[in-house]
Amino acid sequence: MSDPFALFDEWLAEARASEINDPEAMAFASADADGRPSVRIVLLRHVGRDGFGFFTNLDSRKGGELAANPNGALAIHWKSLRRQVRAEGRVEQVSDADADAYFASRSRDSRIGSWASEQSRPLESRELFERRVEEMQQRFEGQDVPRPPRWSGFRLIPDRIEFWSDRPHRLHERRLFTRDGEGWVEGLLYP
């Protein structure tokens, strides 16, 4: 198979059937303008030939890092399947329409939380955050909760995708897909 996204779709379907929690959880790494990396778990909310997408507060640490350095890497580990996928590439912000559509699909409480949170900023106390949530509930009582202007999403557009499968005696299989124009070249890596 020379289409990494078709293979990813197969693996993700298997993970959704077998993983106990969050088969869409992925580690996402970004780096600041000086190249200092940071990594966190985010949820994969879109995958397609246009890349791997997730959503966040643009003022968060990752949002600031991606504004300064639009490159990233991700890793998804499915322990029950003994598999992982890694991807690297440039990162672009999604369209307002894509951000609006995903935001509207979230629960009301999650949308309220997006308004109340100053993600990645210092928080004086948990009580302050809870008070902000309450204020946002009152602000939007009886009406739809729109997407905050500082909330959007990103898409990692990979130029490398690696599929790792566990094998006995650490003789793992590593399949590497490298972007070549509009297509992909597939090869193997030593484990």
Domains of the chain (ranges; CATH) run 4-103+151-189 (2.30.110.10)
Distance (Å, rounded) from C-alpha 120 to C-alpha 115? Answer: 14
Instruction: Name the pLDDT band for 20 (thresholds 50, 70, 90).
Output: confident
Share above pLDDT 70 across residues of the chain, in percent, rounded to a whole number? 99
Query: Phi-psi region for residue 150, left (φ > 0), alpha (ψ -120 to 50) or beta?
Result: alpha
Is the pLDDT assigned to residue 70 strictly greater than 80? yes
The pTM for the full model equals 0.92
Residue 2 — very low, low, confident or very high, per pLDDT cuts 50/70/90? confident
Mean pLDDT across 16-38: 95
